[in-house]
């Protein structure tokens, strides 16, 4: 999937909408929702989609409960609604 960015952004939004307030998701959940068989290949794009949503103020990307820049964070991150 060449440009899955918009689909991944929609998947992140939908997954967060389906969760309790304050809940988070892993970017891999969005990748799995968009491409169940090839989700691993989408992980860089899923993290980038989370980064775009964070830049717009729609979500926060955290690591160990601390807000981070997903572009420079290494290792697992979580995505949640901003300000919650």
Q: What is the mean pLDDT of the chain?
A: 95
Cα dihedral 52→57→62→68 (10° resolution): 70
For residue 54, give both structure tokens.
Answer: 């964070």
CA distances in angstroms from 70 to 11, 28, 30, 48, listed in the order given: 17, 14, 15, 7
- Alpha-carbon Rg of the chain, whole angstroms? 11
Supply the pTM of this predicted model.
Answer: 0.93
∠ CA 55-56-58, nearest 5°, is 105
pLDDT, residue 17, reads: 96
Over residues 21-61, the pLDDT tens digits come to: 999 999 999 999 999 999 999 999 999 999 999 999 999 99
Model confidence band, residue 13 (pLDDT cutoffs 50, 70, 90): very high
């Amino acid at each position: 999937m060449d440009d899955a960015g918009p689909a991944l952004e929609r998947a992140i939004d939908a997954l967060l909408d389906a969760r309790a307030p304050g809940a988070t998701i892993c970017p891999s959940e969005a990748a799995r929702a968009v491409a169940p068989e090839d989700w691993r290949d989408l992980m860089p794009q899923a993290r980038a989609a989370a980064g775009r949503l964070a830049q717009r103020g729609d979500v926060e990307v955290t690591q160990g409960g601390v807000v981070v820049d997903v572009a420079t964070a290494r290792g697992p991150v979580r995505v949640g609604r901003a300000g919650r």
